[in-house]
Structure 1
Amino acid sequence: METLITGLHHVTTIAGDAQRNVDFYTEILGLRLVKKTINFDAPDVYHLYYGDETGSPGTIMTFFPYGRLPRGRKGTGQLTYTAFTIPTASLSFWVNRLAEFHIAVAGPYRRFNETYIRFEDFDGMGVELVADDTDLRKGWATPAISAENAIRGFHTVTLNEAKVDKTIELLTGAMNHILVAEENGRFRFKATANGGAGTYVDVQHSPNELRGAQGAGTVHHVAFATDNDESQIAIQEKLTEAGFQPTQVLDRNYFHSIYFREPGGILFEVATNPPGFSVDEPVNSLGTTLKLPEWYEPRRAKIEAALPPIQVK
């Protein structure tokens, strides 16, 4: 089967206060702030990217922090939980660490023969940590979180759907995913390239749940990874043939993107792996200065003045 989508690329979420968002993902979870830029479509709002040392595809959680924004509501038509991997031996470390910061933890639970815990960030965004010793990616170590305990990257995203048939048809058709497990109304798919952590998509059938409402703590979109511009165009053509309406290719500086809505209403993106986050600053200083696309540079002073100050502690 043709390999066009290689797994997850990033998940982009709506947040409230920018500094609280930085504190949660860098201080508590220990991810690296790899890029501080703006929402290209709303330049008065940050776009903050967190991930491993280089912001590798499959590790990247991104946020639009809108300030005093009401919370959204989890429900159908949404990506409700983003799961990261940790080593099995680190499970108790993370339970204790989250407790230190007064973050309520649910679990440990079992699902598809894996153990995971569940909690929410300061805005109510759903996060899971999955014990997975097969994930050999290197996490970003901090003074408080050793390399042995560090979060590795994505494991799974959960799509909450009132109806699943058309979404499953999309995943297994134009998006070349394979169904690998089913349990309690949850269907797990993997990208055909390889499988394993960072390639899983879970579709949760929730026919009696309310539809989600967008706001702080809800996901804006999920991006799937593809190797290059040529494979992205091939996906775009397959999606069009399948009756979807993907956008034209958009230049996001760090990757190229197309967007479309899946049948349940969740916004999907397909993003290229290159050029990556070191295209405009060296790896050792990623995320330390505000980066703007060239067409916004003439407005830098005005943009910087409107953005709230943030810092990594």
Structure 2
Amino acid sequence: MKNNDRHFSGIHHLTAVSANIRENKRFYTEDLGMRLVKRTVNQDDTSAYHLFYADKVATPGTDLTFFDWPVDRERRGNHTVTRTALRVKDDQSLRYWQDRFGSLGVGHGDLTERDGRLYLDFEDPEGQRLTLVTDGGAGDAPTPWEGSTVPAEHQLRGLGPITMTVPNLRATDLVLQKVMNLRPVRTYPDPESPAHTVHVYEMGEGGPHAELHVAVRPDLPPAHPGAGGVHHVAFRTPNEEQYHAWNERLNQFGIRSSGEVDRHYFRSLYFREPNGVLFEIATDGPGFGVDEDMATLGEKTILPPFLEPRRAQILAGLKPID
């Protein structure tokens, strides 16, 4: 396969930061109706939970994940991911969610149209900036979870466009196009500052599940990481053959990376684009059923094999979240 024929199929997952993981679990499972599909720890900091929320079977592209770190709130700015979209099927679902947020006291904006789609912006209790967007049924079909607090027809269908904010586009654009093979397809005015522009890049077959939006905001200060902020965004590659090829491609371009990392549930490769946003390339498999019955996903703390010998020590350092 030629380098220019290799493309990501969409967003794999997004990982953010919470300083109140118990309330985080309540919000995402109860208010948003997502399933906790993996209760594990940060493999590089085992004092912290790493929680994964998704559809019933943790379909790649539906995962929203959180590190449990006792840090101050994020100071907003550029050089980071600034909004995460979650997909619903149609306008009827958006109105359902608008009513649901009102009844639950979840802070949200009005239904607004931008970039040719209808959006509903909202925030989680720690200020994580989220939005719902209609996808018209595009993307891999998720598997509804019968244990959700949300009716199947209105459940979240997975990740939508991810918006990152940078002060200057040029170097980022070079990496997105020349290294990652993303395609620039259109622009629209930044809804938070209409004098500035958001540039839309798509991957794979395109669609809201396969878009990265880049807002160019030189007027903002650099963000300071913290709770309510995003740690990294991951892009989907289907198998290990292409995963190895992406590692070779980064090396060919002289881009520093983590090298290949086995996360047990998928294979990972991390690097920073020129404005400092942390990207991950992740394989679709082997998936979360590799060490847990799919019927009981997320009910107990699971550790990858290399951490099992330290189970007692690790669990003793975790706080209860149920």
TM over 0.5: yes
Name 1:235's counterpart in structure 2: 246
TM-score (norm 2): 0.93
Matches within 5 A, 1:26-45: 26-45=29-48
Name 1:153's counterpart in structure 2: 158
Name 2:220's counterpart in structure 1: 209
- The one-letter amino acid of 2:237's match is T
Name 1:188's counterpart in structure 2: 200
Name 1:267's counterpart in structure 2: 278
Question: 1:69-106 CA deviation, whole Å, 9 max, x = no partner?
Answer: 21012210110111011122111111111122212111
Candidates 104, 123, 128, aligned match of 1:125: 128
Residues 108 and 117 in structure 1, CA contact (< 8 A), matched pair in contact too = yes
Identity %: 37
Is residue 176 from structure 1 mapped to residue 181 from structure 2 by the alignment?
yes
Question: 1:19-39 CA deviation, whole Å, 9 max, x = no partner?
Answer: 101011110111110000000
CA distance in 2: counterparts of 1:257 and 1:196, whole angstroms = 24
- The one-letter amino acid of 1:53's match is K
Candidates 76, 79, 82, aligned match of 1:77: 79
- The one-letter amino acid of 1:90's match is S
Question: 1:104-136 CA deviation, whole Å, 9 max, x = no partner?
Answer: 111212111101011111111110000221336
- RMSD (Å), alpha carbons: 1.3
- The one-letter amino acid of 1:31's match is M
Question: How far does residue 142 in structure 1 lie from its aligned partner after superposition?
Answer: 4.1
Residues 14 and 64 in structure 2, CA contact (< 8 A), matched pair in contact too = yes
Question: How far does residue 304 in structure 1 lie from its aligned partner after superposition?
Answer: 1.1
CA distance in 2: counterparts of 1:90 and 1:290, whole angstroms = 33
Name 2:93's counterpart in structure 1: 90
Residues 34 and 49 in structure 1, CA contact (< 8 A), matched pair in contact too = yes
Secondary structure of the structure 1 residue equivalent to 2:209: coil
Residues 161 and 205 in structure 1, CA contact (< 8 A), matched pair in contact too = yes
**CA shift in 2, pair 1:201/1:141, >3 Å:** farther
Name 2:194's counterpart in structure 1: none
CA distance in 2: counterparts of 1:104 and 1:141, whole angstroms = 26
CA distance in 2: counterparts of 1:142 and 1:293, whole angstroms = 26
CA distance in 2: counterparts of 1:168 and 1:156, whole angstroms = 17
Residues 18 and 308 in structure 1, CA contact (< 8 A), matched pair in contact too = no
CA distance in 2: counterparts of 1:141 and 1:130, whole angstroms = 22
TM-score (norm 1): 0.95
Residues 85 and 135 in structure 1, CA contact (< 8 A), matched pair in contact too = no
Question: How far does residue 175 in structure 1 lie from its aligned partner after superposition?
Answer: 0.7
**CA shift in 2, pair 1:292/1:144, >3 Å:** closer
Q: Which moved more, 1:96-105 or 1:132-141?
A: 132-141
Candidates 268, 273, 284, aligned match of 1:257: 268
CA distance in 2: counterparts of 1:263 and 1:107, whole angstroms = 34
- The one-letter amino acid of 1:86's match is V
Is residue 63 from structure 1 mapped to residue 74 from structure 2 by the alignment?
no
Question: How far does residue 3 in structure 1 lie from its aligned partner after superposition?
Answer: 2.7
**CA shift in 2, pair 1:240/1:143, >3 Å:** closer
Residues 29 and 148 in structure 2, CA contact (< 8 A), matched pair in contact too = no
Q: Which moved more, 1:129-138 or 1:161-170?
A: 129-138
Question: How far does residue 141 in structure 1 lie from its aligned partner after superposition?
Answer: 4.6
Secondary structure of the structure 2 residue equivalent to 1:24: helix
- The one-letter amino acid of 1:34's match is V
Residues 33 and 148 in structure 2, CA contact (< 8 A), matched pair in contact too = no
Secondary structure of the structure 1 residue equivalent to 2:243: helix
Name 2:321's counterpart in structure 1: 310
CA distance in 2: counterparts of 1:270 and 1:131, whole angstroms = 26
Residues 226 and 232 in structure 1, CA contact (< 8 A), matched pair in contact too = yes
CA distance in 2: counterparts of 1:187 and 1:146, whole angstroms = 34
Segments of 5+ residues of structure 2 without an aligned counterpart are 190-196
CA distance in 2: counterparts of 1:157 and 1:141, whole angstroms = 27
- The one-letter amino acid of 1:8's match is I
Segments of 5+ residues of structure 1 without an aligned counterpart are none
Name 2:20's counterpart in structure 1: 17
